[in-house]
Structure 1
Amino acid sequence: MALIELKRMAQGKSSTLSHLYINGVFANYLLEDAIRPIKIPGKTCIPEGSYKLLLNTWGGMNVECRKQYPGMHKGMIEISGIPNFKSVYLHIGNTINDTAGCPLLGSWYNLVNGEFEVYQSRLAYERIYPVLAMIIPAESAHLTVTNQHL
C-alpha cells in the first residue's frame, strides 16, 4: 500500500504551507487555508486525520480538467470522508484565494506579505496527477494529514 502524507510545515496569516510525500519521498508543496479550531467554509484547511482518496468523475471541476488534460484526466483527486467538508480536491492554484478549502499543488513557494503562495502549480499537477491516478484505483489509497513544526 502506498503511503501518502500531507505534512503541514508553516503558517502564514491565513495560509498554511504543507508538503506532500508519497512513500516517504517529497513530491510537492501544497498550499492550504489556515488551521482553525472552528471551521469557516472555504477558509479552513482540512483537519488532521486519515482520509480516503478517490477519483471523482462527477464533480463540476471535471469538465474544465478534461478540457485541459484530455489524455491524462481520469477524475479529480478527491479527499473523501472529511468531517464538515465535501468536494475537497487536490488541484491547481497559487494563492489562498484559489483554495476554497482544497490543497493546491505547487513546485515551489514564497512568503508574500505574510501569506504563502505556491508557483508552477500546473507543472506540479502534471507531475503528480498521473502518479496518484495510478495508485488510487489500484489500492485503497488514503491521505494522512498531520501538523508538523507548527
Structure 2
Amino acid sequence: MKKVDIIRLEKSDAGTFGVLRLDGRVQCVTLEPPERGNRVGASCIPAGTYTCRRVDSPTFGPTFEVADVPGRTAILFHQGNVVRDTHGCILLGSRFGRLGPERGVLDSRAAFREFLADCGDEQAFCFEIAE
C-alpha cells in the first residue's frame, strides 16, 4: 500500500499550502482552504492520519477520497488553482504561483494526472497530514 503525506508549509487567509509526498518522494504542491474549525466545504482537514480510497466523482472523475475526517465527507483530491476552487478539498499543483491577484497552485491538471498515474492501480492508501 502506498503512503501519501502532506507537509503543511503555510496557513493564512489565502489558504493552506503544502507539499505532497508519495512514498517519501515529493510529488507536487497542495492547496486547501484556510483553517476554519473543520467547517464542511470551507476548512482545511485537521492534521492526522486517514485512509484514502479510490472513487469516481461525478464532477472530477477518478480520484481519491479522504475517509474518516470527523464530521466531514466527500473530501477529494482534485484539480483547481485558487482557494475558491477547493470546496473543502485538496488541490494539487506543480508549483505555487498567482492567478491575477490570488495566490494558488499552478499546472493543476498535469499534477493531478501525474498523481493518479503514480498511484497506479491502488484502491486505497494511508494518508497523513503534518503541520
* Larger of the two Rg values belongs to structure: 1
Q: Distance in 2 between matches of 1:17 and 1:113?
A: 18
Secondary structure of the structure 2 residue equivalent to 1:61: coil
For 2:68, give the aligned amino acid.
G
Structure 2 unmatched runs, 5+: none
Q: What is the TM-score of this pair, normalised by structure 2?
A: 0.88
1:43 aligns with 2:42: yes
| 4+ residue segments displaced more than 3 Å | 111-116
1:110 to 92, 97, 107: 97
Match of 1:88 in 2: 75
1:143 pairs with one of 116, 127, 130: 127
Task: Map 1:15-30; keep pairs closer than 5 Å.
Answer: 15-30=15-30
Q: Check the 8 A contact 1:16/1:31 in 2, yes or no.
A: yes
TM-score by length of 1: 0.78
The residue matched to 1:16 in structure 2 has which SS?
strand
Counterpart CA distance in 1 for 2:111 and 2:63 is 15
Deviation at 1:49, TM superposition (A): 1.0
Separation in 2, partners of 1:121, 1:113: 16
Report the secondary structure of 2:89's partner residue.
Answer: coil
Number of residue-to-residue matches in the alignment: 131
| Higher strand fraction (1 or 2) | 2
What's the CA shift string for 1:39-93, capped at 9, x where partnerless? 3332200111111111113x4225xx3xxxxxxxxx3211111111111110000
Query: How many Å separate the matches in 1 of 2:92 and 2:20?
Result: 9
Give the stretch that moved more between structures: 120-129 or 4-13. Answer: 4-13
CA RMSD of aligned residues (A): 2.1
CA contact (8 A) 1:16 1:34 kept: yes
State the distance in 2 between where 1:25 and 1:86 align. Answer: 27
Secondary structure of the 1:53 match is strand
Measured in 2, the distance between the counterparts of 1:130 and 1:105 equals 13
Q: Which has the higher helix share?
A: 1
Percent of counterpart pairs with the same letter? 24
Give the whole-Å Cα distance in 1 for the aligned partners of 2:88 and 2:33: 6
CA distance in 1, matches of 2:71, 2:112: 26
Contact 1:3–1:142 (CA under 8 A) maintained in structure 2: yes
